[in-house]
């Protein structure tokens, strides 16, 4: 029996977390603080399958990528680092004091920008494991998502 090349096979692993954000300058209600139950589906591949016929052990992805998400994104605020809303600084300070530092982005924390940030972070975290991120689908609500592609 021959084993297919890893480039022909991808795995998908899903992570979910809760976070709040606001979109400065938004024309509607999203300019106010609000929360989401985010869900991200990571499609991953490798140059070759390992000796057990896997792209990577799912537990490795859970520890490395899931651990990062839990530490940096779960139960915190994901905010634009240059947001000039006066309440942002106290939110950042409160979250830090309460053990859940806010995650600050270079751009507005839209689902698109968060997906791109996850793409950058995931690529760095998984590279030492021989894994390449093909795409990420980030769900902000059950009806709305963005897809980042490497």
Whole-angstrom distance, CA of residue 105 vs CA of residue 98: 20
Q: Name the active-site residue from 30, 62, 72, 85.
A: 30
Task: Count CB-CB contacts under 10 A for residue 2.
Answer: 4
Alpha carbon of residue 27 to chain centroid: 25
124 assigned to active site: no
Structure tokens at 41: 């589906």
72 assigned to active site: no
Whole-angstrom distance, CA of residue 118 vs CA of residue 131: 15
Q: Name the active-site residue from 21, 108, 117, 140.
A: 140
Whole-angstrom distance, CA of residue 127 vs CA of residue 83: 32
140 assigned to active site: yes
Whole-angstrom distance, CA of residue 138 vs CA of residue 118: 9
Q: Name the active-site residue from 75, 85, 112, 129.
A: 75
E strands in the chain = 11-21, 34-46, 76-80, 103-105, 131-141, 144-149
Q: Which residues are catalytic?
A: 30, 75, 140
């Amino acid at each position: 029996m021959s084993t297919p090349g890893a480039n022909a096979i991808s795995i998908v692993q899903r992570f979910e977390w809760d976070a709040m954000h606001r979109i400065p300058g938004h024309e509607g209600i999203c300019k106010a603080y609000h929360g989401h139950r985010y869900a991200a589906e990571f499609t991953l591949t490798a140059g070759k399958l390992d000796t057990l016929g896997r792209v990577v052990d799912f537990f490795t992805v859970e520890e490395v990528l899931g651990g990062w998400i839990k530490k940096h994104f779960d139960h915190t605020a994901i905010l634009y680092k240059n947001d000039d809303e006066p309440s942002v600084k106290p939110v950042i300070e409160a979250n830090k004091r309460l053990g859940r530092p806010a995650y600050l982005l270079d751009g507005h924390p839209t689902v698109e920008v968060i997906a791109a940030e996850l793409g950058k972070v995931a690529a760095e975290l998984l590279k030492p494991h021989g894994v390449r991120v093909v795409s990420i689908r980030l769900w902000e609500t059950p009806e709305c998502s963005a897809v980042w592609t490497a």
